[in-house]
Chains A and B, each alone.
Chain A
Amino acid sequence: MQASSQLLNWILWMPFIGVIGVLLVPKSKEGLVKWWSLVNTTITFALTLVLYSKFDTTVPGMQQAFNVKFPWISNFNIFYSLGVDGISLPMIILTGLLFLICILSSWTISKQVKAYFALFLFLQTTVFGVFLSLDFFLFYVYWEVMLIPMFFLIGIWGGENREYAAVKFFLYTFFGSILMLVGMVALYYASGTGVDSFNILALQGGKFTNLTIELFGTTLSFSKLFFVFLFIGFAIKVPVFPFHTWLPHAHVQAPTAVSVILAGVLLKMGTYGFLRIAYPIFPGASVHFADAIAWLGLINVIYGAFCAMAQTDVKKLVAYSSVSHMGFVMLGLAAMTVTGMNGAVLQMFNHGTSTAMMFLLIGILYERSHHRWIVRPDGTKGFGGLYTQLPKFSIVFIIAMFASMGLPGLSGFISEALIFLGIYEKYTSITVLALLGLLLGAAYLLWMFKRMFFGDVIEECKSYTDMNAREIAFMVPLCVAVVVFGIYPAPILNIMRASVGNLVSMLANY
């Protein structure tokens, strides 16, 4: 019992041990820094798998066996409190896997190697912190601290316009967090400043439904007002239209590995925030705003798809496709049915793997071509006939593309199908329109594929080499995940079922 109860601590702080290790290595030994980071993330990933193996799928709430809790600031009843349930576990495993893969894909980094790996591992600790925290204050601290390594990772190792992208990303997210901070402190007082005032679990269950506040003489519903605050805070991260404008910049300018983490894990923190905080704490308000969430999700799907279609930069195209795919998650969240919610959580995981593949592949291509134009600004083709030049690369790309498109047999299909099944009864018209988004998704991806991989081989593509062993090594696990979870999603669905069911039944009371 004692051994397993420290497991979450180990998962959370293992990357931080990695940071300290990286800092201790002399600057000249870059190889050692890389190998150490690789070993460290491997251990972390192994620990997440241990967590998976010990996880009890029948428990609906937090897994008591793993909880860690001790006081941090007792004047304010702030606890260092960690826990895991069926909603956070898929995200934790995803984080462990993607960071491991990203370390491998970062092998080619040559600028400020030590700082890069230190910040990268630090980022991993903060991401784990967000997914593991059961104390709202702790959650907020991790949520914010995460911005610092992201700012530098984008700002130092990014593309040409990196500074603008980093600043925009930071400011946008910080704006959202501030609203969340105000909401958090208001909740602290609304719940009576007792021992459980920052405890996410204790705040749950609609305790604030009937509370009202006075603002300039008008009476407002406490829960609705602060649901909107939290919603904006999380929506910026997802990103939900109209708060998405930071995303294309950040994605395009970030180095490959950071784009992968951004799309694969960080966007999910927004939807995770809905599932862990906004929904359970304000169930009444969530139901009240479900229509709005569904419509915003629909706009995300359609608008993201159209934006993606218009792009000539392939990385930007994938970035907008993330906007579109996160729209599906929002639709699943708006459904508030067991099927829809399961679909949403599954989509969070599946989008994490499929979009990570896309970004990694684009990164691999970029290392050879040093540009990402499908069509250059002067109208000439940026790529052509890659299929004959890079056969292995093309096969992996096809898998990633079809997974992202939602082709049956690959992972994206199941989660999107579940979402549509879940939402159909409640929002029939939205479902029909969102299906159109699926069609658009197929259109822009296939069109992009046609332009880049088919046709005549253009001159500069002839010099490209196919994927090397290292690149194949980090793409294979993702390919396997995409295919296996496309055919047999039960391992993930089993873990989340009880927790999601718990949440849905809470929402069903309103």
Chain B
Amino acid sequence: MGANYLASLSHYVPELLACVTMFGLILIEATYKESQKERGLFFLASYLGLASIAFFLFTELQAEPLTIFTNSIIIDSFSTLSKIIMTLGTLGAVYLCSQSKDIEEHLKPEFAIMAVGVLIGGMLLSSANNMLVLFIGVETLSILSYVLASLRKGDERSSEAGLKYSLYGGISSGIMLFGLSHIFGTLGTINFTEMAIVLKSVSTVQISILLPSFLLFFAGIGYKIACVPFHMWAPDVYEGSPLPVTTFFSIVPKVAGLAALVRISTTFFSDPGALNIGWVGTLSVVAALTMTVGNISAIGQRSVKRMLAYSSISHAGMMMLGVLVISEIGTRSVLFYSITYLFMTLGAFYVVNFVNDKYGNDHFERFNGLVYRYPMMAIVMTIIMFSLAGIPPFSGFVAKFHILSAVLLKKYYVLALIAGLNSVISLYYYMKIVRLMILKPAESEESIAGFSYLNQAIVCALGIPVVFLGLFWEKVLIIADGAKVFVQ
């Protein structure tokens, strides 16, 4: 048994590396003096750590799927790809944090440490093959997120965000656990593989218990993805948190939650029947509501950060469409969407952050005439905005096309139409910022300190995949296509 565990460890290098990185960062941070401002070494270490995690994950991408730790963790190409996306998202957020003025200097290391912790939770969540591991993943992710949300200790709004987040989070974890206990009571196991086998031969009475239990269980995941009706916390948390934290929140927990949702849907609900109808029906309504509510709320925002935060809710709704079809093409479309969403979100938040640092707020007017001062930044931001709205030839369009094709394959015409109309709504507010950047004259000639040549180059580099994946998406498609959810 012990030897078995040791053997399992060899397949668990990325997660272990993440733990090592986290503890290493704590130790490095401890060596700094209170008065010391520069933390070059600390950030270098965090980049190295995250990059090596990503590297190991890349090498694992082609590996055969397997389960480790007595069948409680599953490692397949789907989970590996999700982890790569999350790691890159974390890396992006940590770099943003090192450059941002929105977080006080002495709190930056804390952000990086917590972010790596959340990443570990996300990794656990995306490869859970056991209800308890899944729950531990959700909690690791959540508890550290509460700390992140209230990172700016002196700021009232930040503390409020943290409190709200933890209250909502606590309740939804409770509901989730309640659902889990019923599922365990009915099926007699918490292992996904065994559960799937038992589920094939459940009686009608059991189904009548299981269906509500699964819906209770969904509350926990839905809360992490911030889908309607569990999204109430999101605006306050996004608003109150510093910008790098918002960036982080709109990528990592969402991808982790969606990965878990994909695994649960494919493992338990792929066979037609009452359970399938109930689950897909619920997800359909939730997805449609999430898209619409996210979009409509985004229209009225004055702050670009809030606008992007709301739009990230609606994007999560879009990705849920790819989940609820429960098919390989659906999974593929979710992965493709996540990959493009990663680059678009990072690029957009980078630009917003630097403008915000300069002016102290990120109201739409701050972007007036950006093209006359920083043409490259304005062009990349324009590309990203059009891509988020789903206009070809940018990758956002291809992602949307994939989702639509997954949905229409199942002949869910109404859902496809709702998704399409939502992207029209979203174009309205994305276009607002393009309009201000390019069509309005500049308010001032002042330079923005954040747009150093290095940062401009990084933003441009984030823009490249947005264009490239819109034109030549076949290669990525093959990677995403290979990333199958392993069902035993």
Contact = CB atoms under 8 A, between A and B. Distances in A.
Interface of A: 73-76, 140-141, 144-145, 147-148, 151-152, 155-156, 162-163, 166-167, 170-171, 174-175, 178-179, 181-182, 185-186, 188-189, 213-216
Interface string B27-64: 00000000000000000000000000000000000000
Given A181-B401, A185-B416, A145 B393 contact: yes
A213 B416 contact: no
A75 B328 CA distance: 13
Contacts of A156: 438-439
Interface residues of B, number: 31
Given A74-B474, A140-B392, A182-B404, A171 B428 contact: yes
Contacts of B481: 75
Contacts of B477: 73, 75
B427 interface: yes
Given A73-B473, A73-B474, A140-B392, A178 B408 contact: no
B3 to A, nearest CB: 43
Nearest to A162: B439
Nearest to B406: A185
Contacts of B474: 73-75
Contacts of A75: 474, 477-478, 481
B420 A178 contact: yes
B424 A171 contact: yes
B427 A185 contact: no
B441 to A, nearest CB: 11
Contact of A185 (B405, B414, B439, B473): B405
B249 interface: no
B439 A155 contact: yes
A144 B427 CA distance: 13
> Lowest 9 A-B CB distances belong to which pairs?
A178-B420, A141-B392, A155-B439, A185-B408, A175-B424, A144-B392, A185-B405, A185-B404, A182-B416
B435 to A, nearest CB: 6
Nearest to A180: B420
A188 B473 CA distance: 18
B413 interface: yes
A414 to B, nearest CB: 38
A254 to B, nearest CB: 13
Interface string B399-410: 001001100110
A167 B477 CA distance: 33
A215 B386 contact: no
Contacts, number: 84
Nearest to A178: B420
A323 B342 CA distance: 44
A181 B423 CA distance: 12
B405 A170 contact: no
Interface in B444-488: 473-474, 477-478, 481
A459 B481 CA distance: 73
Contacts of B428: 167, 171
B420 A179 contact: yes
24 contacts: A73-B474, A75-B477, A76-B405, A140-B392, A144-B397, A145-B392, A148-B386, A166-B435, A167-B428, A167-B431, A167-B435, A170-B431, A171-B427, A174-B427, A179-B417, A182-B413, A182-B416, A182-B420, A185-B404, A186-B408, A186-B413, A215-B413, A215-B414, A216-B414
B421 interface: yes
B401 A185 contact: yes
Nearest to A186: B408
Contact of B391 (A73, A148, A189, A214): A148
Nearest to B427: A174
Interface string B124-161: 00000000000000000000000000000000000000
A189 B392 contact: no
B302 interface: no
Nearest to B414: A215
A185 B333 CA distance: 14
Contacts of B439: 155-156, 162-163, 166
Contacts of B414: 215-216
A76 B477 CA distance: 10
A189 B329 CA distance: 13
Contacts of B427: 170-171, 174
B281 to A, nearest CB: 13
B220 to A, nearest CB: 31
Contact of A213 (B401, B411, B417): B411
Contacts of A74: 474
B408 A181 contact: no
Contacts of A155: 435, 438-439
Contacts of B405: 76, 185, 188-189
A75 B417 CA distance: 24
Contacts of A147: 391
Given A144-B397, A166-B439, A181-B420, A174 B404 contact: no
B392 A178 contact: no
A174 B397 CA distance: 12
A458 B424 CA distance: 48
Nearest to B423: A178
Contacts of B473: 73
A156 B404 CA distance: 33
Contacts of B397: 141, 144
Nearest to A156: B439
Contacts of A181: 401, 404, 420
Contacts of B420: 178-179, 181-182
Interface in B354-413: 386, 389, 391-393, 397, 401, 404-405, 408-409, 411, 413
A312 to B, nearest CB: 27
Contacts of B421: 175, 178
Given A181-B420, A185-B401, A163 B435 contact: yes
A186 B391 CA distance: 19
A182 B417 contact: yes
B351 to A, nearest CB: 19
Contacts of B424: 171, 174-175, 178
B479 to A, nearest CB: 12
A211 to B, nearest CB: 11
Nearest to B405: A185
A156 B382 CA distance: 14
A138 to B, nearest CB: 10
Given A171-B424, A171-B427, A182-B413, 11 more contacts: A75-B477, A141-B397, A144-B392, A167-B431, A170-B431, A171-B428, A174-B424, A178-B421, A181-B420, A186-B413, A213-B411
